[in-house]
Every structure is written in C-alpha cells, then in structure tokens.
Amino acid sequence: MTGVRISKMNVRAFRGIGTKAEFDFSSPLTLVFAANGTGKTTMCESAEWLLTGQVERLRDKGHFDQAVLFPKFSQSDQPPLVDAELHLRGSALRLQRCISGTETQARLWKDGALGPVIGLNELLRRLAPAAAAENSHHLRAIPMRQGWLRGTRFLSAEALATLVDSDDSTVERRKDVFADLLGIRHLLEAEKLAERYIADISSRERLLRQTITSREEEIVRLTVELEEASPSGSLSAVTEVNNAEQQFGLNSDASGSQPSLAARIEALDVERHRRQHILVTRRDAIEASAARWPERDKISESIVALDTIYPGLTEQVSEIVKQGQAAGAAVAAASTRCNTLKTQMRALDSARSMLAPLVPALYAALSDMPGARRLVGNETLPQLFELLPSARQSTEEITILQADVSAALADERAAENADRRTELLRAQLLEVEALLVTEDALAELREAASRFETQAQHAKRLQDATAGPLARLQTAGRELFDHQHASGASACPLCSHDWQTADALREAMASTLAVVPEVEKLSQIAAAAASEAARLAQSQLKEAQRQFAKAEGLRTELADLEQRIDARKVRLARLGVGDGNRIAALEALSASLVAAAALSRLLSERDRVSTTLPGSGPTLLGEATTLATLGKQIEDPIVARESSLREDFTAADTELTKQSERRDALRKDHAVASEAVRANRDTHARHQSELDKLRQLWNVAAPDAEWTESNLTAARDWARHEQALLEDIASRTVAAQAAWNTEARRTRLETLRRELAPLLNRSSYLSDRIAAARQASNAFHDSYVQVSGRQIEDLGQVVNPLFARMHANRVFDRIKLGQVDDPLRWLADAGGQELNPGKDFSQGQRQDLALALFLARARSLGGTFFLDEPVTHLDDLNRVGLLDVFRATVLESSQSLNLVITTSSKPLARHLIEKFGRVGPVETPAGRVRPLRVIELDGNGRTGVTLTTVYPTDA
C-alpha cells in the first residue's frame, strides 16, 4: 500500500475550531457536512498544516505566520495542535504537530509516548520521497515536497479550475498543479532553474558584447584619424610649448616629462584665456576713459561749488526750525487758552440750564401749600427755611419722609373701614365662642366617630361574608330540588333525616329556600344602619372642628387689625399730627414737604454748581435773596461772568490766529529751504558717483597709475603689445595641441587593442556557458515532456471511464490527454470534432473533468485525499453520476484509498447515505468498517464547534 492515509485526526485550538474535535477518517469515504462558516475548510487546513507545516491559503507575500492559526474567540491559552493516526506505505504511525513559542514542532509517537522533534525536511522526505531527488538541498526539497503534498492531497475550488483552464495567463499555474499531481515537480523546477540561469548569464553576455562593439568602433575611428593626420613629432610640440612658457614667464622642465606635455598645453591655454580676458577688460576701460576724459574736471569743479554753499543752506534750515518750534508752542498755548474759556462758558450755560427750571418748580410747590396766599414775595431764604424747616434736610431724606406721610394718609383714609371691621369681628367672635364645645366634648365626638366607623365596617364585612354562601346555598338547593334522578328519595341529603315521602322532603326544602332572601335582607339592613350611625357621628365631629377653626381665624384677623391701629397711632405721633382732622393735617404736611423738596433741590444744585463756576462775581442766591428775586439772583451772576469770559475769549482767539499765520509762514519757508538742501545733496551725490565711476574705470585701465595723458598713452601701447603676444601664443598652443592629439590617439589605440583580447575571451566563455545551460534546459524539458506524457497517457485510461460515468448528459466520446508539442493540452472528441475544455465546456463539465483527473491520480497514488466543496457547479444528474464514481472508487480501492469530502448541501449527504445504505463493511487498514461515514459540524468559531456522526447510526 502506498501514500499517506489518515485514519483519525484530533484538532485543538486551530483557527475556527477552539475546543478539541476528533475526526474519524477510517471509512474509505468520509463526508463532512456543515453550513458555511462552521469549520469545513478549517478541517482541511489543519490536515494540510499537519503534513506540510504551513497553509498555502494563509501565506502573505510568500511568508507564513504561525500566529494566524490561533483561534480568535478562544479564552484558553493552549497553542494550536493537530494529532493524527497515519498509515504510511503499510506502516502505522502517529504524528503530532503543535506550536511551541514562535515555531512549529512535529513529533512521532513511539511506544505510547512522544518522541523527539523531527525536522521539517526529514518529515517531508518520509511523507513524499518521490517529490524531490534524494540528495536535493533542503532549501529546494522542502518547498517541492510541500507543493507535491498540497497538490496531490488537497483539491480546492481554485485547483479545480486550474486543472482544465486553457487561459495563457494560468499556464504556469497549471503546469505546477500537474507537476505536483504527476510527481515530476523536480524536473519542472530544474528546467525553470536552467532558464533563470540562462537569463542571468545572457544579460551579462549582452553587456559584454556591447562593450566589445564600442571598443572595436573606437579602434576603427582612431586608426582612420591617425592615417589622415599630417606627420608631426612630439619634439616640435615640446619646442612650441617651451617658447610659449618663456614668453608667459612660466616655469617648466625642459625634458617635457614633468609635468606631462598635455598638462603644460592645458596650463598654457588656461593662462592665455586668463590674460585675454584681462586684456579685453583693460582695453575697454582705456577706451572708455579716453572718451570721458574731459568730464573729470567739470565734475570736480561742480562738487567744490556744491560743498561751498551747503553749510549756509543747512544753517538757514536750522534757524527756520527753531523759529517754527517757538511759533508752534505759541499756537498750542493760545489754543489751550481758547479751549479753557470755551469749557468755562459751557459750564456757565450748564449751570443756568440746571438751576433755571428749579425756580418755577419751587413756585408751583409753594402755590399748592395751604395758606400760600399769605406769601407776598419778599420772604428771604432764612424766612423760607422757617416756613419749611424740612428743606434743611437732603432730598433723599425728604423723599423718605414723603413716603411715610403718604402711607399715613392712606391709613387714615382707610381707618374708618378698619374700625367698623374691628367691631364686626368682635361681635362674630362672641357668637362663635358661644357655640364652641369643650375639649372633653370634642374628644368624646372623636371617639364616637371612630367607634361607629368600626361597627359599620364590621357590618359590611358580615354582609359580604353571608351574601355569597347564601346565594350558593340557594342555587345548590334549587338544583337538588329540580334533580329528577332520585325522584322517590325521602332522606335529607345533608342530615339524612327521613321525611317519609319525597313530596314532604321537597316541601321542607322549598320552605327553607324561601327563608334565604329574608336572611340576606336582614344583613343588608343591619349594615346600612351601622353606616348611617357612623356618618352622623363623623358629621358632628366635623361641625365641631369647623367652629373651632372659624373662631381661630376671627381671633387672628382681629389681632392683625388692632396691631395696625397701634402702628398708625405711632406713625402720626412721629409725624407730629395730633387729634382732630388728621387727614387735613397730613395733606398739609404732604404739600409742605413737596415745597421743601423743591427748595432743597434748588439750594443743593446751587451749592454744587457754585464750586465749578469760573471767574469772580456776585454770589448765586445769597442770604438777601427774596422769593420774588430767585430767577434774577441766578441769571445776573451768570450773565456777568459770561460777559467777562467772552472778552477773554476774543483776545485769545485773536492771538491764536496771529500765531497760526506766523507758524504756517515758517512751514513754507522750511519747505523751500529743505528742498534747496536736498537738491544740493542729491546733485553732490550724483556728481560724486560719476567721479567714482571714472576713477574705477581708470583703475581698471591703468592700475596704480596717475590720471595723466602720458599714462593713457602708455596703457594703449601695453594693450597693442599684449594682443600681439597672445596671438603668437595661441598659434604655438594650437600647433602643440595638434601634435599632442596625434600622439594621444596612438597611445589610446594601443591600449584598446590590449584590452580587447580579454574581453573577447570572456564573451566566448559566457557563450559556451549559455549554450550548455540551454542544452540542460532542453534535456530537462524533454524529460519532463516524456515522463508527463507517459503518465498522462496512463492517466487517460482512467480519466475517460470516470468522466463518462459522472457526466450524465453525454456529449463527448472521449478526452484526449496531451499531445507531442503540448502534453498538458486537453481536448474533447465529440463526433470527430475537437473541443477545448477551457473554452467549450460548461462550468459543470469542466468540474467533472477536473474531478476525473484528480480521482484518477488519487487511485494511482493511494492514501487520504481532501476534496473541499467538489459539487458546486454540478446539476442533479451529474451529482448522481459523481456519487456513483465515489461509490465505485472507494469500494474498489478501500484498502489503499480514502476520500474526505466537504459539502454544505444536505441533499448531497442524503443521496450519499442512500447510495451506501445497502453496502456492508469493507476491508481497510484499520479492519472491516462501513464504507461511508457522514459527520455533521455545528456551531462556529465564536460559540464552539461540535461533531455528530450522522451515518452510520450505530457509530
């Protein structure tokens, strides 16, 4: 027996499976049925992790992180663990894989205990020895064996589509899947490795060929240039360079070896360009100086003249500034004086506006006083104070006194009603007190009301207690009376008394029932009488309590009225109002207080404004002021002071105008003088700038030389001589450079010829390696094609029967697997027509073909194979055909093969059970077992996953 066969698998803390779950795969066919999201895919991934040490679907950019295996919702800190019983090539063993720290560890059980940790490469070599060569390096062998186990043991939806997909974009993926299925992944990897080696070497070979080509082109160009160049030796170049250096005054070695001739030529060229630049600059400056030669004297004379008049102009501006400051101070003083006088005049006007309205108000208040006709107008202020003594108080105090008088006047006007109300209250209180009962009598009324209320409640409860039983007794009696079953009975059913005859018994019962309404009526009368007695007692108690409350209210109101009468008498005494006509006295007092308040306000305002009035003059409202002259004694002093202020203001305003005119004239003079100074300074700066430019120009034309006609002539002679020298140096440098270039080309040509030979040898070596690698790649490809072709041809003998049996609606006669030029190309033969499954098959037909390929390979390998949701696109008929294939496959290969299929389709589970319902146990490595086992999963990763064996029921 070959292949890896899993009999049982325990999974714990692995992604969606939190608690321990035991899967029994001992049957040749195991169907795991569950709703989506329950854990079917997790079960397949746990088996993949057990065998390969990783889960391909969970890899992130080629990296697999073990942390993704931990369950999200588990409260336990246990690491993921998968423990399985295996049969490997006829030998039973037990394998466990778990996570320890950040690494995964695999161990084999031995003698009931876990053995040492087994390395991944060693474990994969035992599980998939044919997936890689025995002596392959572990870095290459591990991924190849992992891919082979994953590709041959696990069929996902993606692999289903890849097996028959003919799209060019998935051809590489399809090759990998078939390489894993056929066990020739090492040949495919070797071919890919050779191709990568060829691509790497070819890029370096191309770069080398480009370098060789560029060197050969340069050799040809230099050869042509040397043949075309005129013969000249390096000796003439040295001579020319020596002569040029002597003319420039440069130090040089006569042998021409140090520094090199090229460096000396370059130095000469640099020096020539430097001196040429100096020559051009000085020559331009010489010509410009000659052109502007007459301007220098004129500009100098102008500057001297400007310097002569500048001190006088600045002194004039300074004097104008001093006079302007004095004029500004005088203007400010005059303006301040005018503003002060204006403020004083406004104060006088404000005093008039505040005092004048108070005089008519005083006259009006005095006219409203009783006896105002006795005033003749010649009363002085002291006499008015004697008439109105309250006027000596402040306005606030008089206001408070007025409020007190108004309150007293209101009380006096209401006093008559208050007295009548007091007498009435006293009479009512006497009447109510005559009706009051004593405290003992009131207590007796409370006790009686409580007693009668208790008796009424007792009677009511007694009525309620008797009404129900009597009614039920009457009803039961009538029913018994009307009962005809024992019409001849004469004994009483309650006391067994014998009435001799039945008629006598009925007559006694009728008379008894007639008494029941009377008894009920008596209990009602008793309850009503007790309730009425309680009501009368409660009414008497409430009446007595009401009289007590009324008496208390009358006493309170009477005490309040008497308190108010006493307070009124105290207020009248304080106001000095005696007996008699108190209302008239209070009204007279109120009128006098109004006049006193008016006089107090007038004198208070006089005292306030007197301290702020400007100037000197008569006093406002002096002691001799009479009642008739109040207005005159206010207006005359204010008018006299206003007249004096107006005279002062006129003089101050005249002075302000005079000083302002003088200040404005000085401002104009200052502007004119300042403009003259500014014009002098600007002209001087402009002439000085022109003179400085001329000096700078001459310094460039003739450095460190005086500004004379003879020096100008000497500068022009120098420029002509320097130009001739530079032209001679230029011709010598060009000749030397030409000779040197010829020698440099010859040297470069010899260097290129020496460098070309090693490059050609290197290019030849790389070409040989590329040819050898291409020969190896072709050999690996031919071997891959031959081996895959043979295996595909053998596989086709199984695929066609399987595909024909599972494909209910037969359209195709057979499937052609592979061709000479393309062994992985699949064609369908239908009546002489060749069809491409990737383009011409329906989704279900492609899935049938993929399943047939996978099952054919599984039968040849043996072991356990996981098919995740293999019936997604199949119709009912094709599903039945697939189930027949499953049934035939596991029954024929029960010893070497078992399939684990997942589905969320309940009809599929039911159909499988029907297919295997009458099939007895079959032989397996674990003994005779039922060929089908159906396991149902329930729950999810959050609430927990549980397993139930649905079939067989006796499991």
Q: In what order do the strands lie in the sheet with 91-100?
A: 21-24, 4-12, 81-88, 91-100, 103-110, 113-118
Separation between Cα atoms, residue 384 and residue 365, nearest integer Å: 13
Residue 940 C-alpha from the chain's centroid: 33
> Tokens representing 244?
């040029």
Arithmetic mean of pLDDT, 814-825 = 53
Across 119-128, 375-384, 609-618, least confident range: 609-618
Separation between Cα atoms, residue 621 and residue 635, nearest integer Å: 10
Question: In the chain, what percentage of residues exceed pLDDT 70?
Answer: 79
Separation between Cα atoms, residue 171 and residue 163, nearest integer Å: 10
Point out which residues pair with 665 in neighbouring strands: none
Q: Among 560, 563, 547, which residue's Cα sits nearest to residue 428?
A: 547
> Tokens representing 128?
């998939």
Neighbours of 108 (CB within 10 A): 16
Separation between Cα atoms, residue 634 and residue 244, nearest integer Å: 119
Separation between Cα atoms, residue 264 and residue 884, nearest integer Å: 99
**Amino acid, res. 112:** G
Neighbours of 326 (CB within 10 A): 13
* pLDDT in the model for residue 256: 46
Q: Among 352, 368, 388, 371, which residue's Cα sits nearest to residue 599?
A: 388
Arithmetic mean of pLDDT, 34-63 = 89
Separation between Cα atoms, residue 256 and residue 261, nearest integer Å: 6
Give yes or no for residue 820 having a pLDDT over 50: no
DSSP H or E stretch at residue 570? helix 502-575
Instruction: Specify the pairing of strand 29-33 against strand 897-903.
Output: parallel
CA distances from 668 to 334, 603, 662, 672 (A): 21, 57, 10, 6
Separation between Cα atoms, residue 612 and residue 638, nearest integer Å: 12
Arithmetic mean of pLDDT, 654-667 = 87
* pLDDT in the model for residue 52: 92
Across 3-7, 220-224, 835-839, 842-846, least confident range: 835-839
Each residue's pLDDT tens digit, 142-197: 888 888 888 888 887 677 666 656 565 566 666 666 666 666 666 677 777 888 88
Separation between Cα atoms, residue 162 and residue 156, nearest integer Å: 10
In terms of phi and psi (left: phi > 0; alpha: psi -120 to 50; beta: otherwise), the region of 90 is: left
Each residue's pLDDT tens digit, 336-350: 888 888 887 888 788
Separation between Cα atoms, residue 827 and residue 836, nearest integer Å: 5
More confident residue, 579 or 247: 247
pTM of the model: 0.44
Each residue's pLDDT tens digit, 186-211: 667 777 788 888 888 888 888 988 88
Each residue's pLDDT tens digit, 673-684: 888 888 888 888
Close Cβ partners of 470 (under 8 Å, ≥ 6 residues apart) = 516, 519, 520
Give yes or no for residue 83 having a pLDDT over 90: yes
Each residue's pLDDT tens digit, 740-771: 777 777 788 888 888 888 888 888 888 888 88
CA distances from 304 to 195, 675, 676, 691, 695 (A): 95, 20, 17, 12, 17
* pLDDT in the model for residue 107: 93
Instruction: Specify the pairing of strand 863-868 against strand 154-155.
Output: parallel
* pLDDT in the model for residue 10: 95
More confident residue, 624 or 711: 711
Separation between Cα atoms, residue 682 and residue 867, nearest integer Å: 103
* pLDDT in the model for residue 810: 58
Arithmetic mean of pLDDT, 418-442 = 76
- Which pairs with CB-CB distance under 8 Å and at least 24 residues apart come from 837-844? 837/164, 837/166, 838/164, 838/165, 838/166, 838/167, 839/166, 841/164, 843/873, 844/873, 844/874, 844/875, 844/878
Separation between Cα atoms, residue 165 and residue 173, nearest integer Å: 10
* pLDDT in the model for residue 30: 94
